[in-house]
Amino acid sequence: MAVKVSINISREFSVDADYDSVFALLSDVEASAQHFPKVEQLTDLGNDTFRWEMEKVGLGDHAIQTIYASTYSSDEEAGTVNWTPVKGEGNGLVSGGWVIEEAEGGTNLTLETSAELNLPLPGLLKLAISPVVKAEFSGMVDTYVSNLSEHFSA
């Protein structure tokens, strides 16, 4: 039996870096992923598709690992980097995108992402597990935003 957990996250922040530098990093999946925490392995599957394998997270007697793949597209003129889920690859479907806007003295960023995770856990654990998984995912995104902010301030 599997527990399905749905997560939606939105973050807005500004950095002191120029638009071109920000777009270059965020549109380069492998470079951007270096700032995301707890990535065990990122695999280039070709055609702008990448499989993400996250570190295992232990929950009592259970350890779960999130694995998913997404296909990426970017449009420098529009200031967007988007990803769409690849079905049948791992135990999650992750979609979302960046909106990157030039601003006075830097760049404004908006991150929207959603995930649907199917975790191999007993259904009875859903009420206990969902908040933990959501908090873990949210914390990783917050660390990612913090790491990007530090990178662009350096």
User: What residue ranges do the domains of the chain occupy?
Assistant: 3-153
Helix (H, G, I), strand (E, B) or coil at 75: strand
- In terms of pLDDT, which residue wins out, 122 or 6? 6
Residue 91 has pLDDT above 80, yes or no: yes
Say if strands 67-75 and 49-54 run parallel, antiparallel, or are unpaired. Answer: antiparallel
Output the pTM of the full model: 0.92
**Within 10 A of 1 (CB to CB), how many other CB atoms are there?**
10
Least confident interval from 33-47, 73-87, 132-146: 132-146
Among candidates 124, 122, 113, which has minimal Cα distance to 26? Answer: 113
CATH superfamily of 3-153: START domain (3.30.530.20)
E strand residue ranges, 32-105:
39-46, 49-54, 57-59, 62-64, 67-75, 80-85, 92-103
Query: CA-CA distance, 77 to 80, in Å (whole number)?
Result: 8
**pLDDT (tens digit per residue) in 14-68:** 999 999 999 999 999 999 999 999 999 999 999 999 999 999 876 566 678 899 9
